Amino acid sequence: MNKTVGILVMAYGTPQSLDHVEAYYTHIRRGRKPTPELLRDLIDRYKAIGGVSPLNEITRMQSQGLETLLNANANNNRTYRVYLGMKHCSPFIQDAIEDMHRDGIEEAVGFVLAPHYSVMSIGTYIQAAEEALQKSDGLHMTFIRSWHLHPDYLQAAARRIQDSLEKFPKQVQKDIRVVFSAHSLPEKILSMGDPYPRQIHETGDALARELKLNHWLYAWQSAGRTADPWLGPDILDVLKSLRKEGHTSVISCPIGFVSDHLEVLYDIDIECQALCKEIGIHLIRTASLNADPDFLKALANIVVEHLAGESA
């Protein structure tokens, strides 16, 4: 008998239009409306990247591509159906799980489109899913919590760094600084023993070994605007320090992100590039994984290997 396995793909989500920014921002702030200044700043950032982030469309393409790839390689008694659940916009995570339950799915696996685990990031997605599962009797779901060292993911990321290296003259490639960055989180995760910073470094170090990089370092970006201190150093400060040390060729590799969205298209492509132009750094950002075939292959293998482990 053919069995359908549900795949819950979870992502952050983004406003559908500028008119939806306030509701989206309010949801992120757990029901507290942003001040007019904060709202205006966020709207201006979206306008700077063209008015709408491509994140939702990329996420849909990733989900559809994953489903196609899984079913193309499935055995005769198993098919896959991918459901998309967003954290901060429709369709929400709970909506996706309700759809799974209504469709009669009994076995499912959930994962977030982010490679590195933190209780304050991936953990919150899983918590939302688990709360929704309590209302869905008969649906059993396991979770992939991180995949930051999966060889297919690393290979896809390494290919993009190599492509960026080759955009520089041969004679300067050995001296290029590669800055690995990820979304900052509140500093208090350090006292919690959270694996997030370690996993970021593990990914970067693995890529540096694979590519035989001479120089690489780490930075944090896109910190929230709260009274609590966030992880540093900030990528802008790192770039300033590199220039003071005399370096003028830098690759930005935002390994904490897999898709083009505001934190990449604005924070790096606009904000970091503006700084680099001002201080005299030639900065190239690695291409995002998006819905490219090599990344979809990585996701499919991550899912299949997880399910095989669960069966064993």
What is the pTM for the complete model shown? 0.96
Is 285 annotated to bind a ligand? Reply is: no
Q: State yes or no: 12 annotated in a binding site.
A: yes
Q: Which domains does the chain have, with CATH numbers?
A: 3-147+291-311 (3.40.50.1400), 151-285 (3.40.50.1400)
Q: Regarding predicted confidence, which is higher, 284 or 310?
A: 284
Check if the beta carbon of residue 79 is closer than 8 Å to that of residue 3. yes
- Asked if residue 261 lies in contact with residue 14, where contact means CB atoms within 8 angstroms, the answer is yes
| pLDDT value of position 240 | 98
Check the annotation: does 266 bind a ligand. no
The pLDDT value given to residue 312: 62
Mean pLDDT computed over every residue of the chain: 96
- Is 29 annotated to bind a ligand? Reply is yes
Is 263 a known ligand-binding residue? yes
45 annotated binding-site participant = yes
Measured between alpha carbons, how far is 283 from 252 in angstroms, rounded to an integer?
Answer: 7
Which pLDDT score, from 0 to 100, does residue 211 have? 98
Ligand-binding annotation for 25, yes or no, is no
Q: How far apart are CA 125 and CA 193, in angstroms?
A: 19
Share in percent of the chain as helix, strand, coil (round to 5):
45, 20, 35
pLDDT, one tens digit per residue, over 59-109 is 999 999 999 999 998 876 889 999 999 999 999 999 999 999 999 999 999
Rounded CA separation 73/55 (Å): 27
* Residue 2 confidence (pLDDT): 80
Q: What is the dihedral of CA 161, 286, 237, 183, to 10 degrees?
A: -110
**Model pLDDT for residues 139-193, shown as the tens digit of each residue:** 999 999 999 999 999 999 999 999 999 999 999 999 999 999 999 999 999 999 9
